[in-house]
Amino acid sequence: MPLGVRTINILYLLPALAASLAFYLASAHQRFVPGAVAKKRPLRAFAWLCTLLSAVLAYAQLGVWAGVFAALTALMTGLVALPYLDAWWHAGREKRHVG
């Protein structure tokens, strides 16, 4: 399989992961960009557009049900991974005092 075909097959992952990041940045619990919570409406609109784009691209590549499930699985993977990444990132930078 040529490289271009494989690249197109996973092209729906990029907007799904961008949507995950935008949804996470719009949440009150994130600590990556503290000022992003003030811009939550545009972030959520961007996230919904990226989610729709991801579903359309996956539908075009994989068909209706496989495309929808693949796009939503990529979105959910990002939504699950980002809080852990945020906690790991800040755990290494914070001073911990036990005792």
What lies within 8 Å, CB to CB, of 37 at 6+ separation is 25, 26, 27, 28, 30
What are the two backbone dihedrals, phi and then psi, of residue 70, each rounded to the nearest 5 degrees? -65, -40
Tell whether the model's pLDDT for residue 3 goes beyond 60: no
pLDDT over 90 (residue 11): no
Under 8 Å between Cβ of 21 and 78: yes
- pTM of this structure: 0.81
Could you give the CA distance from residue 99 to residue 16 in angstroms, rounded to a whole number? 43
Q: For the segment 69-90, what is each residue's pLDDT rounded down to a tens digit? A: 999 999 999 999 999 998 888 7
pLDDT digits (tens, 9 = 90+) for 13-69: 999 999 999 999 998 888 888 887 788 899 999 999 999 999 999 998 888 999 999
Q: Which residue is associated with the tokens 């961007």?
A: 46
Residue pair 14/74 in contact by the 8 Å Cβ criterion: no
